[in-house]
Amino acid sequence: MNGNNFRKDFPLLQREMNGRPLVYLDNGATTQKPESVVKAICGYYGGCNANPHRGAYELSIQATDIYENARMRTQKFINAPKTNEIIFTKNATEALNLVAYSYGLNFVQPGDEIVLTIAEHHSNLVPWQMVAQRKGAVLKYIYLEEDGNLSEKDIAEKITEKTRIVAVTHVSNVLGLINDVKKIADKAHSAGAVCVVDGSQSVAHMGVDVQAIGADFFVFSGHKLLSPMGIGVLWGRERLLDKMPPFLMGGDMIEYVEEQHTTFAELPAKFEAGTQNVGGAAGLTAAIDYLEQLSFAKVIQIEKELVEYAVPQLKELSFIELYGCDSARNNKTGIITFNVKDVHPHDVATILDAQGVAIRAGHHCAQPLMRYLGQNATCRASFYLYNTKEDVDRWITALKQVREVMHL
């Protein structure tokens, strides 16, 4: 299967970069938007822009319908039990902070333990550091096996009766490996802990069933899912969300306000203070429609073929160091992290940019993992449904020129 069939749906992929056809390989950072998503956003702002939930006039009713329809579509998309368990945020980072502040600060006690993996994005690590520091809790880490997968020994031994929260990424944004979150969630539940899953790198690339994986909280950002920036999702179990206090205060999240006291709205409004991002919700609905028409089976096939095409070629290059490409568990996604020996990742990215190839370089908001791997920074190429073998060829050809440009 070749992604060429889908490139025509993405206006930005038709442009050039530095005088060359664009090869966009930074999908782990954000995905490009199909024309249907762009039209949905423009259609809202150009056709029925109004403040939702707050008006009895037609435009406001239409805006409310668009927003609440997005909630229903998202519920079905991740197979959440109830619509009111879907909380819209501005991104996964805000969603994780919501859980940390509203659940963590209220239900973690001194001496309790919070278990993370060393492969977490800062958004699923720094908030838990804050909770641990404020509450006198202990942070523990699950480290990696030689092949980059999570340590089975650490999973078995570090989640104990003292554990209150286990926070884990569904797919590492650096290593591109799918974690067995169901196994981790089951272990957490057996210890009486809740499991928080960061789905930012999974939900756009595979079908996600939050009930099947056993998560208690699941978060993702819309912009990594063909949607606009500024819309994110938190799903949480109703029994947990009900007992959590609001994270933000203001309009639309209240039931009744008196001079000295306020009662709060029911779910999901309790966690959605202020004017909602209806345009973002319209884009999210269109993105879900696009992906479901395409099917995740096709997305997985495209990415798998690209990885299987690229990795053997990269392994033949003596100057390329690869990370997360040795798993034998058939759990590799379309993320390939690498370095060019003796060349800083930022220089690699700049040289590739001159060839029209866009990759990511840096610590990928995963500094503890970088240190664990013995690196300060790496390069990352990440595929999506519109990438092709021709893109891979352009990327590898450009890589072969890097050391020449650096006179190595």
User: What's the per-residue H, E or C state across 358-369?
Assistant: ECEEECCCCHHH
What CA–CA distance (Å, rounded) separates 34 from 24?
A: 14
pLDDT at 155 over 90: yes
List, for residues 322-359, the tens digit of each pLDDT value.
999 999 999 999 999 999 999 999 999 999 999 999 99
CA-CA-CA-CA dihedral for 214, 220, 225, 228, to nearest 10: 150
CATH number of 4-25+295-405: 3.90.1150.10
List, for residues 32-66, the tens digit of each pLDDT value.
999 999 999 999 999 999 999 988 999 999 999 99
List, for residues 257-267, the tens digit of each pLDDT value.
999 999 999 99
Q: What angle, 0 to 180 degrees and rounded to 10, lies between the N-to-C axes of helices 278-294 and 58-77?
A: 40
Residue spans per domain, the chain:
4-25+295-405, 38-291
Average pLDDT over residues 132-153: 98
Which of the 8 DSSP states describes residue 177?
B
Query: Looking at residue 54, what is its pLDDT?
Result: 81
Q: What percent of the chain has pLDDT over 70?
A: 99
Q: For residue 262, what are the β-bridge partners?
A: 257
Query: Looking at residue 4, what is its pLDDT?
Result: 52
Average pLDDT over residues 155-164: 98
What CA–CA distance (Å, rounded) separates 277 from 230?
A: 7
Q: Tell me the C-alpha to C-alpha distance, in Å, between residue 91 and each of 77, 123, 195, 276, 352.
A: 17, 10, 19, 13, 29
pLDDT at 200 over 50: yes
pLDDT at 2 over 70: no
Which candidate in 48, 195, 325, 365 is catalytic?
365
Q: Which amino acid is at 84?
A: N
What CA–CA distance (Å, rounded) separates 75 from 90?
A: 17
- Is 365 catalytic? The answer is yes
Average pLDDT over residues 16-22: 95
Alpha carbons within 13 A on the beta-carbon side of 365: 12
- Looking at the whole model, is its pTM more than 0.95? yes
| Residue 5: pLDDT band with limits 50, 70, 90 | confident
Query: Looking at residue 3, what is its pLDDT?
Result: 43
Q: Which CATH class is domain 38-291?
A: alpha beta
What CA–CA distance (Å, rounded) separates 34 from 185?
A: 34
